[in-house]
A and B are shown apart, each in its own frame.
Chain A
Amino acid sequence: MTLSFNLLLAACLAYSALLFIVAFAAEKRARAGRLGILRSPLVYTLSLSIYCTAWTFYGAVGYAARSGLEFVTIYLGPTLVIVGWWAMLRKLVRIGRAQRITSIADLISSRYGKSTALGVLVTLLAVIGTTPYIALQLQSVTLSFSVFTDGGVGDETSTGLWVAAGLALFTILFGTRNLDVNEHHHGIVTAIAVEAVVKLVAILAVGAFVVWGVAGGPTAVFALIDASPIAQWQMQQGRWVTLLLLAATAFVCLPRMFQVMVVENTDETHLATAAWAFPLYLLAMSLFVVPIAVVGLAVLPAGSNPDLFVLNVPLAFDKEWLAMLVFLGGFSSATSMVIVAAIALSTMVSNNIVMPIWLNARRGDATLSGDVRNVVLRARRLSIAGVLALGYLYYRLSGGGGALAAIGLIAFLGVAQVMPALVGGLFWRGATRNGAAAGLIVGFVIWIYALFLPGIGTGTVMSAQFLADGPFDIGWLRPRALFGIDGLDPLVHATLWSLGLNASVFVVVSLLGFPGPLERLQGSEFVNVFRFSTAHKGRSPTTAEAEDLLMMAQRILGAREAQALFQATAARQGKDGYLPDVTSDFLERLEREMAGSVGAATAHAMLGQIAGSGAVSVADLMRVADESAQMMEHSIQLEAKSEELGRTARQLREANEKLTAISIQKDAFLSQISHELRTPMTSIRAFSEILREAGMDRETRDRYAGIIHDEALRLTRLLDDLLDLSVLENGQINLHETDVELTDVIDRACTAALSDGARLTIRRVVADERLMLHTDADRLTQVFINIIANAAKYCDAPSPELRITVSACGDGINVDFIDNGGGIPMAQHAVIFEKFSRLGQTRIAGAGLGLAICREIVARLGGQISYLPGQGGAAFRVNLPQARFGAHAVASVA
């Protein structure tokens, strides 16, 4: 071949680099909030194309060359499912979004009462079913490499290893960048969309070349087909039905398909576009399969591998560049499948296996200490590496042999075992957890016994004698002739028994059993998702402290998201600050948000540790039982009304409390002013009278004069503060706004606040502070000095420490000051920013005007200062508007 191995490798690397860039750019756009095309129906449709793996890219032609038209069932099944989107996929996507489903294992677990056991079961099934599939992709990439190198230059196993390692790297980089609240991986989805285009273009190019370049037009192709070994359609009816069913099922149940279709879905209406656009994609992918197959059969030497016709046909006509395109197309098919499968599996493993174990191991304290996000992310990264390692191992052990299609179909039937539990869960409220588990186990065992183990290859696990006579010569247990049904195609046979018994056991056990309260509640939520998608109550009121919940939520959702959620909820309840009332609605919402990160079962268990058992109340069950839509409507209206009344009452109560507090404070303010003025005055008056008398030594005289001086200064300072505050409060302040870097302001404040030798350690991340602000630097410094000096004064830890963190937040930035002391009791959060509200009885130098002044200054600077609960120590957050870079840039250009 004229294409050198090195050139091929270079193309491969360049293409991978391109994907990295695409993924990176998409992530960046998404982060900046400019989603645009990233969430268009086109990208969604193209991302679904990971259904077409290397198996379909190379294998479809091989399949057609062996068995004629049967290959097309693999595409027809999904077509039927997606054109029927209104019936099922729409419901699935709606549930996925409403319940924050993270994977298919999570869906099953969530539907059947947030059961951990079911989650584990489905995860295991998915891992076992997907591993051979990943091996298949690695094999196809190495195989296509070897076509170019004639098996000579590159060592095949090392190629596989490099591909696996590269894929692991890519997936970890873009799949576990952050623990996204809704598990959207914009970078990866966009890269996959690009790959989808590449593989379609590649296959269409070969097709067009074959039809018009080789055969000489469509009519000639038909003649060629009629002249080929596959001219007669040899349909095996049993396989035809089975394959249609399996492909349709797999399209929904394959972990990677569920990932792109449900989890990554950003808009339900995208499904409507995909309903016709995706079948169109599939049609285009399979349009030229038969022509390529017949041309391959006609042109290539007998005995050449039909799975590589797509590559070998262009090469046979010396079209190296076309072959290169095909190679990249195959590479795309393989890589995109592996990446998404690895993400989907790692999510399942981390949420359904690692998290429950971790939670169990740290019973009790898991909710309040330790970094959950890091545990989850690390678990995901390890799982990705693990899944790819498994795939590579399988590829090495299986020797990379066997027709591609066989492995693919074995995997299809494996994941299809989820179907009865899934469909039952979506449409039948009577489906129970025990039924689902029993059905899954039965189907799983039969699949392993009747198809998976025999499929690995005769003699590896099951001997030929075992296959022929059954275990212990028990005839009706023969893996390929269960219960004496002999003579069927092995795939049809295994499908019949595994899915048939799976569904039957599922239904029978469900009919006989009785579901638990949470199962019934979830069942109703799922089945009636279109009816009840607004009102639901999953928990009875609890005594959980909002602050504890916030502490936990921060460690799962991330500080910013958790604070935003709490603040928004509090605002909706008509409260200021970060701590809403802990209502059952709020708990429900929180649990759902958390489920988006760690899965339904784990979120439920974690919340349960804080908020109590999460028992379902009688009222909840009555709601489930109550089918009458009108009653429902009426009670919802009443509920909304009473909720509104409650909210108004709460607002009034809060306003009243505030007014009373203010009036008390006004009195207190006057007497405080009086006290603060008279105290230094007393010393001044007493000593000045003493000084007026004669007969005192010089030393005493100097000391008394010094006291008078100090007290006079104290008076001046107090008057300055008062003036400052009154000027600020009246808004007669002149701001000298300049562009200044945040880190400079903090530097100055730290130096000034700690100049008198306070023993306070300050921890900062200077890199985060490199932000430009357009603000009055002196005033801002004054605020920071005040907060830092307060921490130095009041922090009661043995070795006081102050953490200053800076984070972007929408248009502004948050500067958080968090010390490691005992914090401020909740009852005082509301008053610390008022004048003279020094904490407790203890009197400490300073008039207690500091925070009041800070609040006024920050308000003038267009920001906000607040107390941040749930951080361990006392924590203050200063929120500031950031300089508008865009505006500056435009101004300087113009």
Chain B
Amino acid sequence: MGKRVLLIEDEPNIVEAVRYLLTREGWAVDTHSNGATALDAVARRRPDVIVLDAMLPGRSGFDILRDLRTAPDTSAIPVLMLTARGQRRDREMAEAAGASRFMTKPFSNSDIVDCLRELGGHDAA
């Protein structure tokens, strides 16, 4: 019970919306807003799922993802990548970097809730 999700995103309003949605679904939501220190946050929180924005202050989301995938104890964590730029190149880059799922902003609330449920469940199975 109570899977942990780490939301790495720097727009406070988006953070608030996603936190509200996921908490309601029973997730324990941690948030982090700085790209440069995102890896530390992952190591500290040990989340079951990560929601990662592509454009962060300090460091890009793609770089963070690449590092997550190369480190042995984080390589298996499912990652949902968010981007606001919506270009095909971004999706390709996300896949190449090893994202489990990819969503373009703006998304509908049910999409992100479903997606997280899927990622969390997949992990449990």
A residues within 8 Å of B by Cβ?
Answer: 670-671, 674-675, 678-679, 681-687, 689-690, 707, 710-711, 841-843
Contacts and interface: CB of A to CB of B under 8 A. Distances in A.
11 contacts: A678-B86, A679-B84, A681-B106, A682-B84, A683-B17, A685-B108, A686-B14, A686-B18, A687-B13, A690-B20, A843-B57
Nearest to A711: B13
Contact of A679 (B14, B21, B35, B107): B14
Contact of A685 (B20, B58, B106): B106
Contact of A841 (B57, B85, B109): B57
B81 to A, nearest CB: 14
B11 interface: yes
A841 B58 contact: yes
Interface in B101-116: 104-109
A695 to B, nearest CB: 11
Nearest to A689: B109
Given A841-B59, A843-B10, A686 B109 contact: yes
Given A682-B14, A682-B107, A684-B106, 10 more contacts: A678-B85, A678-B86, A678-B106, A679-B105, A681-B106, A682-B11, A682-B84, A682-B106, A686-B17, A686-B21
Interface in B66-92: 84-87
Contact of A675 (B14, B21, B35, B55): B55
B84 A690 contact: no
Contacts of A686: 14, 17-18, 21, 106-107, 109
B108 A681 contact: no
B57 A682 contact: no
Tell me what chain A mostly uses at the interface: helix, strand, loop, or mixed.
Answer: helix
Interface of B: 10-11, 13-14, 16-18, 20-21, 35, 55, 57-59, 84-87, 104-109
Nearest to A703: B16
B20 to A, nearest CB: 6
Nearest to A844: B57
B68 to A, nearest CB: 19
A683 B57 contact: no
Nearest to B55: A675
A691 to B, nearest CB: 11
Contacts of B107: 682, 685-686
Given A675-B55, A678-B86, A841-B59, A683 B13 contact: yes
Given A686-B109, A690-B20, A842 B14 contact: no
Contacts of B14: 679, 682-683, 686
A259 B21 CA distance: 86
Given A681-B106, A682-B106, A675 B85 contact: yes
A674 B106 contact: no
Contacts of B11: 679, 682-683
Contacts of B104: 678
**Highest count of chain B CB atoms <10 Å: which of A671, A674, A684, A686:** A686
B84 A674 contact: yes
A630 B105 CA distance: 74
A48 B66 CA distance: 82
Contact of A678 (B35, B57, B59, B84): B84
Contacts of B57: 841-843
Contact of A674 (B20, B85, B109): B85
Contacts of A707: 13, 16
Contacts of B105: 678-679, 681-682
Nearest to B36: A841
A674 B16 contact: no
B85 A671 contact: yes
Nearest to B60: A841
A674 B87 CA distance: 9
A875 to B, nearest CB: 26
A675 B54 CA distance: 10
A700 B106 CA distance: 22
Kindly list the 4 A-B residue pairs having the minimum CB-CB distance in the complex, ordered from nearest: A686-B17, A683-B13, A678-B84, A682-B106
Nearest to B13: A683
Most chain A CB inside 10 Å of its own CB: which residue of B17, B35, B87, B107: B17
A679 B13 CA distance: 9
A689 to B, nearest CB: 4
A674 B57 CA distance: 17
Nearest to A676: B84
Contacts of A684: 106
Contacts of B106: 678, 681-682, 684-686
A583 B97 CA distance: 47
Contacts of A675: 55, 84-85
A690 B13 contact: no
B17 A690 contact: yes
B87 A671 contact: yes
